[in-house]
Amino acid sequence: MDHLDEDRRTSFDRNAEQYDAARPGYPEAAIDAVIARSGIEPGGRIVEVGAGTGKATEPFARRGYSVVALEPGARMAAVLRRHVAQHPRVSIIEATFEDWTGADGSFALLLSAQAFHWVRPEVRYAKAAAALRPGGGFAWINNETADLDPDLRSGLDRAYARWFPKSGRQESKRSDDKVRERIEEIQASGSFEPADVDMFRWSATYSARSYVALLDTYSDHAVQPADVRAGLYGEISQLIEEYGGELEIPYLTVVLFAPRKA
């Protein structure tokens, strides 16, 4: 995402509680993979870009790491504080990565989960490298939706074609294409060594109501007019009810880890 849509970027904060309730976290194995790839020492220092409500922050804090969590949204940061209240080694800074002044070359790991694409392209990797000490590295974690049942996929595509044709959801990129693009982007920055990739498959089951709540946390959905969202969500809810009232979403959690260049 080279052009950052500010309305979409800030949409998450408007519904922070819903985001926290609806968005999935990350498999413990994915967190362990970051730790193993980075070689971070026990209690080492992490800076997290776009911490949100703490979906990734809390697992690292629970393992005893010192985390500086950057989250520009005041409502998101408030939920984050609640989740990490029992972890005194987490400090929360309400700032974007671009505005943060702490990139002092002292961190063992720079982490971003589901958020790094919201950092301006001209800042992303140079500042990430500047934050890291020699031997440090960058971890980018993302949950991707894997392939759905073809008939269900067709039904969802028809709903999007009717209500939200500009979403591109009908022609959304495959997970492996997204991964390849991110790897190429990291490599092209010149700030990091080639990225290693770990992938973890899992699934989550949603009712019509909980799936619509999840969709409403996606920035491209959240900024749509109320009538568009109502029509789309109503059709999707009806489709899920026709499929037995539950929707199983297969997820692929992708972890990219790249060491900082010496």
Closest CA to 211 of 142, 159, 168: 159
CA–CA dist 68, 51 (Å, integer):
9
Predicted confidence pLDDT, tens digits, the chain (262 residues): 445 688 888 889 989 999 999 999 999 999 999 999 999 999 999 999 999 999 999 999 999 999 999 999 999 999 999 999 999 999 999 999 999 999 999 999 999 999 999 999 999 999 999 999 999 999 999 999 887 888 888 999 999 999 998 776 655 567 788 899 999 999 999 999 999 999 999 999 999 999 999 999 999 999 999 999 999 999 999 999 999 999 999 999 999 999 999 9
CA–CA dist 2, 5 (Å, integer):
10
CA–CA dist 243, 154 (Å, integer):
13
Closest CA to 20 of 64, 71, 89, 86: 71
What pLDDT score does 169 carry? 63
pLDDT, tens digit (0-9, with 9 covering 90-100), for 25-60: 999 999 999 999 999 999 999 999 999 999 999 999
Q: Could you tell me which residues come within 8 angstroms of residue 92 by beta carbon, excluding any fewer than 6 positions away?
A: 51, 69, 71, 77, 80, 81, 84
CA–CA dist 82, 105 (Å, integer):
29
Decide the pairing of beta strands 196-207 and 246-259.
antiparallel
The reported pTM is 0.93
Second-level CATH architecture of 6-146+173-203+251-259: 3-Layer(aba) Sandwich (3.40)
Domain ranges of the chain: 6-146+173-203+251-259
Decide the pairing of beta strands 66-70 and 90-93.
parallel
pLDDT, tens digit (0-9, with 9 covering 90-100), for 182-208: 999 999 999 999 999 999 999 999 999
Contact 55, 78 (CB under 8 A): no
